[in-house]
A = this chain, B = another copy of it.
Amino acid sequence: MTVPQSSLFAAKAKHLGKSARSRARLIDAALAVFAREGLEAASVNEITREAEMANGTFYLHFKDKDELTSVVALSVAAEIVHEMDEAMADIDDAIERVSLGTRQFIHIASERLNWGWAFCQAFWVLPELRKEAGQYLRRDLERGVAQGVFSIRVDDFLVEMVSSLVNVALFARMNGTAGAEAGSKAAEMQLRMLGVDPDRAKQAAWRAS
The answer to whether A198 and B198 have CB atoms under 8 Å apart is no
CB of A192 within 8 A of chain B?
yes
Which of B151, B157, B161, B185 is A157 in contact with, Cβ under 8 Å? Answer: B185
Q: Could you tell me the distance between the alpha carbons of A165 and B166 in the complex, rounded to whole angstroms?
A: 11
Contact A161 to B169, CB < 8 A, known contacts A189-B193, A192-B192: yes
The answer to whether A177 and B192 have CB atoms under 8 Å apart is no
A160 to chain B, nearest CB (A): 5
CB of A164 within 8 A of chain B?
yes
- A158 neighbours in B (Cβ, 8 Å): 185, 189
CB of A178 within 8 A of chain B?
yes
Q: Could you tell me the distance between the alpha carbons of A186 and B193 in the complex, rounded to whole angstroms?
A: 10
CB of A71 within 8 A of chain B?
no
Residue of B nearest to A197 (CB): B198
A112 to chain B, nearest CB (A): 21
Residue of B nearest to A39 (CB): B40
Q: Could you tell me the distance between the alpha carbons of A161 and B185 in the complex, rounded to whole angstroms?
A: 10
CB of A124 within 8 A of chain B?
yes
CB of A88 within 8 A of chain B?
no
The answer to whether B182 and A172 have CB atoms under 8 Å apart is no
Residues 183-195 of A, flagged 1 when their CB comes within 8 A of B and 0 if not, give 0011001001101
Q: Could you tell me the distance between the alpha carbons of A168 and B166 in the complex, rounded to whole angstroms?
A: 12
CB of A156 within 8 A of chain B?
yes
A69 to chain B, nearest CB (A): 13
Q: List 12 A-B contacts (CB under 8 A).
A: A40-B40, A124-B124, A156-B178, A157-B172, A160-B177, A161-B165, A161-B172, A161-B185, A161-B186, A164-B164, A164-B165, A164-B168
Chain A interface (Cβ within 8 Å of chain B)? 40, 124, 151, 156-158, 160-161, 164-165, 168-169, 172, 177-178, 182, 185-186, 189, 192-193, 195, 198
9 extra interface residue pairs, beta carbon distance < 8 Å, beyond A165-B165, A165-B168, A168-B168: A40-B40, A156-B178, A157-B182, A160-B168, A161-B189, A164-B164, A164-B165, A192-B195, A193-B193
